[in-house]
Amino acid sequence: MKSRLAAAALLSGAIAPVALAQDQGGGAGGGIMAQLIFFVPLILIFYFLLIRPANQRQKRHKAMIEGVVRGDTIITSGGLIGKVTKVTDQEISVDLAEGVRVRVVKGMIADVRGKDEPAAANDSKSS
């Protein structure tokens, strides 16, 4: 019990000068206006560098998914490439190969290629 009291007294003795030093420098700190001048540009930087581009990317992806029609070639987020055969509200049916048809949730579409757009060729030859 005595050691706890001694530790509390020692701790309060160490914290008190720090608290007094903070109270004495109130006029030079600037107060709330200095904090606003610092935080407003910081918030604007976060908005223009992080939040706004993410929202734009999300809108483009949603428009791309809503524009999927039968016959489009899609790429799923898992890397599967196939041709759309049926579109419903939440899912699409995709032909991956002859006789292989899968259902994919629309949110898992990574890219949509049009009917006329060819798949990218792998022209790199290793020797």
pTM score, two decimals? 0.60
> Is 90 exceeded by the pLDDT of residue 10?
no
Give the Å distances, CA to CA, from 99 to 93, 94, 102, 126: 12, 11, 10, 32
Domains annotated on the chain, with CATH: 67-113 (2.30.30.100)
Give the per-residue SS3 of 18-68.
HHHHHHHCHHHHCCHHHHHHHHHHHHHHHHHHHHHHHHHHHHHHHHHHHCC
Tokens of 51: 């939040």
Name the nearest CA neighbour of 65 among 98, 87, 83.
Answer: 87
pLDDT at 95: 95
Q: What is the pLDDT of residues 72-119, one digit of tens each?
A: 999 999 999 999 999 999 999 999 999 999 999 999 999 998 766 655
